[in-house]
């Protein structure tokens, strides 16, 4: 069987889930890496990772497995229509079509791990200050800061502040996680689970995140610190989240840190996700 990995290479310089996934699949299969859909015509199985510049031509002799790593915000219907198996991070798509399988984000300990630095901040948040599905991140962070807690933010669309820096990747990103006592996840209910949760946990930094059904299925209660909010909202309750932060910072978080990292290494690495995918493909006799 001739196998190809089709991706655009856009995230290759960063420590992204695209890079980790390409590297893991390349280690499992003897395959060719291609960047244009028209180059896929001579292959039996094509893995599409991200959104390629051009799509492969669908035919009955070729199976296409696509990873929806930016769903639902960047769901691409034309790509979906050419797919035999669709591995999506969007929990809400499961059950809508038999070809959809759940493929949650993961950690890659090769790129995310604890480093010994002094804890300079109470909290860290990695990501944009405003997002269409999480519209009050600035309000939540401001509420935490107004109570005297220090919050490092790394990303775009944040108001000017001494503890706000632009987007970071690589070693700088690892250091940001390790500089804080806790990482805060400000992803809304209508967005998929954030890969930042797994990155922080792999770095040994406890994560505060809103309680959701998809997280309950992935994590034990003592592996994350849960905050509550209304289901289906784009808005995070600043008061409830602040109370969770205050409660967490008064505790010894060593146990949560150790259990979170142990959980990542035992069941949330990229190899675990690919194991599940391969098992599914074998059940469909695709490989």
Question: pLDDT category, 221, cuts 50, 70, 90?
Answer: confident
Residue 80: per-residue pLDDT? 92
Distance CA 159, CA 164 (A): 8
Residues 200 and 75 in one domain: no
Residue 114 has pLDDT above 60, yes or no: yes
Same domain as 181, residue 48: no
What domain range is 181 assigned to? 121-267
Same domain, 98 and 160: no
pLDDT at res. 72: 86
What local confidence, expressed as pLDDT, does residue 86 receive? 96
The overall average pLDDT reported for the chain is 89
More confident residue, 190 or 141: 141
Mean pLDDT of all residues in 10-14: 56
Q: Are residues 125 and 206 in the same domain?
A: yes
Domain match, 255 and 238 both: yes
Residues 77, 101, single domain; the answer is yes
Residue with tokens 């009050």: 136
Residue scoring higher pLDDT (286 or 14): 286
CATH of the domain at 173: 3.40.50.2000
Q: Are residues 143 and 248 in the same domain?
A: yes
Please report the pLDDT score of residue 61 as a whole number: 66
Q: What is the mean pLDDT of residues 207-230?
A: 85
Tell whether 14 is covered by a domain: yes
Share of the chain above pLDDT 90, in %: 59
Q: pLDDT-derived band of residue 74, with 50, 70 and 90 as boundaries? A: confident
114 in a structural domain: no
Residue whose C-alpha is closest to residue 191's, from 228, 234, 156: 234
**Counted domains in the chain:** 2
Residue 136 and residue 101 in one domain: no
Quick one: 11 and 92 in the same domain? yes
- Domain assignment present for residue 151? The answer is yes
Q: Decide the pairing of beta strands 164-165 and 45-49.
A: unpaired
- Predicted TM-score (pTM) of the model is 0.90
In this predicted model, which residue has the larger pLDDT, 114 or 13? 114
pLDDT value at residue 96: 92
Do 127 and 243 share a domain, yes or no?
Answer: yes
pLDDT score at 51: 75
Q: Where residue 47 sits, what CATH number does that domain have?
A: 3.40.50
Q: Percent helix, strand and coil across the chain, each rounded to 5?
A: 35, 20, 45
Same domain membership, residue 189 and residue 63: no
Per-residue pLDDT at 212 exceeds 60: yes
Q: Is residue 113 part of a domain?
A: no
Tell me the pLDDT tens digit for each residue of 31-63.
Answer: 898 888 888 888 889 999 877 777 777 666 678
Question: Between the CA of residue 183 and those of 16, 124, 228, what are the distances in Å?
Answer: 18, 5, 16
């Amino acid at each position: 069987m001739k196998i190809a990995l089709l991706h655009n290479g856009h995230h290759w310089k960063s420590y992204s889930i695209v890079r980790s996934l390409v590297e893991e699949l390349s280690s499992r299969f003897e395959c060719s890496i291609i960047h244009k859909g028209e180059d896929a015509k001579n292959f039996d199985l094509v893995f599409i990772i991200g959104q390629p510049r051009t799509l492969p031509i669908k035919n009955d002799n070729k199976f296409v497995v696509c990873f929806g790593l930016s769903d639902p915000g960047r769901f691409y219907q034309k790509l979906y229509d050419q797919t035999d198996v669709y591995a999506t991070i969007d929990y809400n798509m499961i059950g809508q079509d038999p070809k959809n399988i759940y493929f949650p984000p993961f950690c890659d300990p090769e790129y995310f791990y604890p480093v010994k630095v002094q804890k300079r901040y109470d909290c860290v948040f990695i990501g944009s200050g405003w997002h269409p599905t999480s519209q009050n991140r600035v309000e939540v962070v401001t509420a935490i800061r107004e109570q005297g807690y220090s919050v490092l933010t790394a990303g775009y669309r944040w108001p000017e502040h001494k503890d706000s820096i632009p987007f970071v990747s690589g070693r700088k990103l690892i250091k940001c996680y390790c500089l804080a006592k806790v990482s805060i996840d400000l992803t809304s209910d209508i967005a998929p689970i954030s890969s930042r949760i797994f990155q922080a946990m792999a770095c040994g930094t406890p994560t505060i995140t809103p309680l959701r059904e998809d997280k309950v299925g992935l994590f034990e209660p003592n592996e994350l610190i849960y905050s509550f909010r209304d289901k289906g909202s784009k808005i995070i309750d600043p008061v409830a989240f602040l109370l969770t932060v205050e409660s967490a910072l008064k505790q010894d978080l060593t146990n949560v840190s150790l259990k979170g990292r142990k959980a990542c290494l035992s069941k949330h690495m990229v190899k675990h996700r690919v194991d599940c995918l391969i098992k599914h493909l074998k059940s469909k006799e695709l490989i």
